[in-house]
């Protein structure tokens, strides 16, 4: 499924959401940004939970408002703070899902629950954060959905569980014809998983890049004041003044490493890039 | 729809203990010989509250967003709630009726009278009118505010009833005219009229609920 | 096959993959007609994005080292002697370039560099 979010706009108190993203088939798209920047709203708009003031969301060329129920079965979701009633057990949830989704793979789902040690007869409200996260992720992947929309699916998980879930997400892409939109605060997770990253801040997309470009071509220059004066500014994106230095974010780190071998350069993580894009000054 | 019904039945099932308690109370009430009509009304009402409780469970702890990403239409959700409420209230009504008739038979009392049958019917209809008010209110205002709104509406209805009563007392002419009009109606016609009124209210209630859910954003 | 990625190196990850697969092919670890791991599998094992692996595979294919059959996967092509030689020559060129740059950055002039080069050549050959 190819999803196109075209300039959806929504007015909030302090800013306006104006967002366009593309989720092509076969890609894993990461969505990062501070809380309240518009990630959840965009995802909810895609899911039909809220309607934008303007703009369109198209799936395979068709507006999502026109979707049939059969087509809605192609979407798998993990929401940050919403789920089934806590009074259900996993068994109950199985029975419910069977009636909603024609392709629900019950045996496979039960097997996965067993593998992740999720008790079938315990009420969900007794689950730990980690167990809940695993349950909802497994559910979203249990009926051959072509598009997964995952809002902070690994929040609150310990590092081992996180990696297990990320592996499951990678496995899910195997059959092909699927795409994933995932938002997370844990940039490290996204670096090894996503093909593209969108950074959203105060409702606007500040950055959209292939992940490997972010990791390979972006970097930080740590220059002294004097070095900064003489620096070619063309490829600098942001700068942050420190006590003793000027730190600059660039998307052409190779250029600077080759032409200014004296200046200290560092690779950046996506967290660093977010910091610079939001808190740094434009150059 | 099947998914929604399964979901709601499972919610009710999880409240199994409360149901058994209510049932026990009901049986005690019947055996102790309380007014039969009252018992039927009571049990029907309790069955309805179980149905309405599914609304609370759905909404609780931000449950709505997850429900509405399931492959259902908003309208379908509303239809299922009305259907489910009707099913449960009829089950409670019919079930309590059967038990009462059974107990009467065992005791050798008179099993059936036209008056009794009419009263039973009235109980069901009152119950449905109650649901027709309650469902849209609950949907719009949620469980917390909904309960408050419930009181307000009941209060308003009470005031209107008092008002009418007051009017009647102090305007004998009006009272006579109304009484004449009611008496002039054939019982059958009165039934049909009442039935149509309740149906119309039901339709209105449904349309309100549908609009409320279709407009709701999360 | 052996591939180990250094996430902290400045060398782009897809480049590291390309170079290491090439090495594996050139030193015979990866034989002709071997099926390479799928993009998804390699991405999962190396913990990188699938796009990165795809770029690496695309480059390897463009350079003639592997061939992708739709529906089956990517296979190692005939270990073309000339290709391998070509690669090795390119590597030498890069290493020499690096040496010259380094020399420049510590102030060696052209003559010094040439003298040094002659010295080394004589020593080694």
| pLDDT tens-digit map of B105-131 | 887 777 777 777 878 888 888 888 889
Q: Which carries the bigger pLDDT value, residue B167 or residue A204?
A: A204
Share of chain C above pLDDT 90, in %: 32
A108 pLDDT above the threshold of 90: yes
* Chain B residues inside the 8 Å CB shell of A153: none
Cβ contact B–C (≥3 pairs, < 8 Å): no
Overall average pLDDT of the A62-79 stretch: 92
Nearest CA in chain A to C42: A170
Nearest CA distance, C113 vs chain A (angstrom): 19
Nearest CA in chain A to C45: A167
The whole-number pLDDT of residue A174 equals 86
B157 pLDDT above the threshold of 80: no
Rounded-to-integer distance, Cα C82 and Cα A256, Å = 35
Region of poorest pLDDT, from B79-83, B161-165, C48-52, C118-122: B161-165
The whole-number pLDDT of residue B96 equals 86
Nearest CA distance, A30 vs chain B (angstrom): 21
Nearest CA distance, A12 vs chain C (angstrom): 34
Q: C81: pLDDT confidence band, cut at 50, 70 and 90?
A: low
Region of poorest pLDDT, from A97-111, A231-245, B97-111: B97-111
The whole-number pLDDT of residue A188 equals 85
Residue A83 in contact with partner chain B when CB distance is under 8 A: yes
* Chain C residues inside the 8 Å CB shell of A219: 10
Across the interface, of A167, A173, A212, the residue whose CB is closest to C12 is: A212
Give me the half-sphere count of Cα atoms (radius 13 Å) on the Cβ side of residue A208: 8
Q: Which carries the bigger pLDDT value, residue B121 or residue A2?
A: A2
Please indicate whether, in this complex, the C-beta atoms of A194 and C12 are within 8 angstroms of each other: no
Select the highest-mean-pLDDT range: B16-30, B76-90, C14-28.
Answer: B76-90
* Chain B residues inside the 8 Å CB shell of A181: none
DSSP C35: B
The whole-number pLDDT of residue B196 equals 87
* Chain A residues inside the 8 Å CB shell of C101: 258, 261
Please indicate whether, in this complex, the C-beta atoms of A85 and B68 are within 8 angstroms of each other: no
The whole-number pLDDT of residue A53 equals 93
The whole-number pLDDT of residue A61 equals 86
Overall average pLDDT of the C5-28 stretch: 89
A100 pLDDT above the threshold of 80: yes
* Chain C residues inside the 8 Å CB shell of A263: none
C123 pLDDT above the threshold of 70: yes
Overall average pLDDT of the C86-100 stretch: 87
pLDDT tens sequence across A114-143 = 999 999 999 999 999 889 999 999 999 999
Q: What are phi and psi of A17, to 5 degrees?
A: -80, 125
Please indicate whether, in this complex, the C-beta atoms of A95 and B57 are within 8 angstroms of each other: no
Overall average pLDDT of the A58-87 stretch: 92
Chain mean pLDDT for chain B = 85
pLDDT tens sequence across A14-49 = 889 999 999 999 999 999 998 889 999 999 999 999
Please indicate whether, in this complex, the C-beta atoms of B6 and A84 are within 8 angstroms of each other: no
Sorted by sequence, the CB contacts under 8 Å of residue A203 that are 6+ apart come out as A10, A12, A15, A16, A17, A18, A19, A37, A38
Overall average pLDDT of the C25-46 stretch: 87
* Chain A residues inside the 8 Å CB shell of B218: 44, 49-50
C79 pLDDT above the threshold of 70: no
Residue A84 in contact with partner chain B when CB distance is under 8 A: yes
Across the interface, of C10, C14, C51, the residue whose CB is closest to A195 is: C51
Identify which of A116, A113, A180, A129 has the alpha carbon closest to the alpha carbon of residue A150.
A180
Please indicate whether, in this complex, the C-beta atoms of A69 and B3 are within 8 angstroms of each other: no
Overall average pLDDT of the B77-106 stretch: 90
Chain mean pLDDT for chain A = 93
The whole-number pLDDT of residue C1 equals 80
Nearest CA distance, A151 vs chain C (angstrom): 19
B198 pLDDT above the threshold of 80: yes
C125 pLDDT above the threshold of 80: no
Question: Looking at the DSSP assignment, which residues form a beta bridge with residue A281?
Answer: A239
Rounded-to-integer distance, Cα B67 and Cα B88, Å = 22
* Angle, CA of B71, B76 and B79, to the nearest 5°: 155
* Chain C residues inside the 8 Å CB shell of A191: 49
The whole-number pLDDT of residue B64 equals 94
pTM of the model: 0.85
The whole-number pLDDT of residue C14 equals 93
Nearest CA distance, A199 vs chain B (angstrom): 23
Rounded-to-integer distance, Cα A114 and Cα A136, Å = 14
Q: How far is CA A185 from the centre of its chain?
A: 8
Nearest CA distance, C107 vs chain A (angstrom): 13
B9 pLDDT above the threshold of 70: yes
């Amino acid at each position: 499924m190819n999803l196109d979010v075209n300039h959806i706009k929504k007015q909030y108190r302090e800013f306006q959401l104006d967002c366009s993203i593309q989720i092509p088939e076969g890609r894993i798209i990461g969505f990062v940004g501070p809380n309240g920047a518009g990630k959840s709203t965009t995802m909810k708009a895609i899911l039909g939970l809220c309607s934008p003031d303007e703009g369109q969301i198209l799936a395979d060329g068709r507006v999502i408002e026109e979707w049939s129920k059969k087509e809605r079965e192609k979407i798998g979701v993990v929401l940050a703070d919403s789920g089934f009633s806590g009074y259900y057990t996993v068994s109950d949830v199985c029975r419910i899902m069977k009636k909603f989704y024609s392709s629900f793979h019950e045996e496979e789902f039960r097997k996965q629950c067993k593998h992740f040690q999720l008790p079938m007869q315990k009420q969900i409200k007794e689950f730990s954060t980690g167990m809940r996260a695993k349950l909802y992720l497994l559910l979203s992947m249990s009926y051959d959905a072509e598009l997964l929309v995952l809002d902070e699916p690994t929040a609150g998980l310990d590092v081992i569980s996180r990696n297990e879930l990320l592996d499951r997400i990678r496995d899910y892409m195997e059959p092909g014809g699927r795409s994933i939109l995932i938002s997370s605060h844990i940039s490290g997770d996204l670096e090894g998983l996503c093909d593209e990253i969108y950074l959203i801040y105060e409702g606007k997309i500040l950055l959209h890049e292939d992940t490997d470009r972010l990791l390979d071509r972006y970097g930080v220059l740590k220059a002294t004041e004097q070095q900064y004066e003489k620096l070619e500014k063309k490829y600098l994106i942001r700068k942050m003044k420190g006590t003793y230095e000027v730190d600059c974010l660039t998307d052409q780190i190779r250029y600077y490493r080759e032409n200014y071998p004296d200046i200290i350069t560092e690779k950046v993580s996506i967290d660093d890039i977010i910091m610079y894009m939001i808190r740094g000054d434009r150059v | 729809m099947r998914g929604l019904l399964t979901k709601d039945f499972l919610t009710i099932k999880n409240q199994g203990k409360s149901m058994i308690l209510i049932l026990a109370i009901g049986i005690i009430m019947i055996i102790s010989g309380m007014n039969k009509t009252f018992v039927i009304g009571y049990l029907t009402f309790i069955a309805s509250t179980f149905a309405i409780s599914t609304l609370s469970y759905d909404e609780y702890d931000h449950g709505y967003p997850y429900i509405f990403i399931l492959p259902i239409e908003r309208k379908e959700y509303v239809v299922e709630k009305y259907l489910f409420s009707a099913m449960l209230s009829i089950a409670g009504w019919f079930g309590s009726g059967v038990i009462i008739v059974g107990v009467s038979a065992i005791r050798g009392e008179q099993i059936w009278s036209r008056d009794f049958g009419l009263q039973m019917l009235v109980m069901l209809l009152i119950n449905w009118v109650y649901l027709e008010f309650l469902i849209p209110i609950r949907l719009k205002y949620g469980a917390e505010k909904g309960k408050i709104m419930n009181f307000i509406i009941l209060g308003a209805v009470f005031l209107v009833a008092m008002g009418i009563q007051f009017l009647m007392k102090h305007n004998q002419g009006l009272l006579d005219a109304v009484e004449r009009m009611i008496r002039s109606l054939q019982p059958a016609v009165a039934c049909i009229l009442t039935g149509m009124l309740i149906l119309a209210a039901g339709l209105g209630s449904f349309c309100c609920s549908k609009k409320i859910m279709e407009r709701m954003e999360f | 096959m052996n591939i180990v990625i250094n996430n902290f190196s400045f060398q782009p990850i897809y480049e590291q993959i390309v170079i290491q697969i090439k090495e594996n092919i050139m030193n015979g670890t990866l034989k002709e007609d071997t099926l390479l791991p799928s993009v998804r599998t390699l991405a999962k094992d190396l913990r990188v994005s699938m796009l990165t692996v795809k770029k690496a595979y695309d480059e390897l294919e463009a350079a003639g080292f592997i061939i992708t059959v739709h529906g089956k996967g990517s296979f190692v092509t005939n270990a073309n002697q000339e290709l391998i030689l070509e690669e090795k020559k390119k590597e030498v060129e890069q290493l020499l370039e690096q040496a010259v740059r380094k020399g420049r950055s510590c102030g060696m002039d052209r003559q010094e560099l040439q003298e040094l080069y002659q010295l080394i050549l004589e020593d080694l050959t």
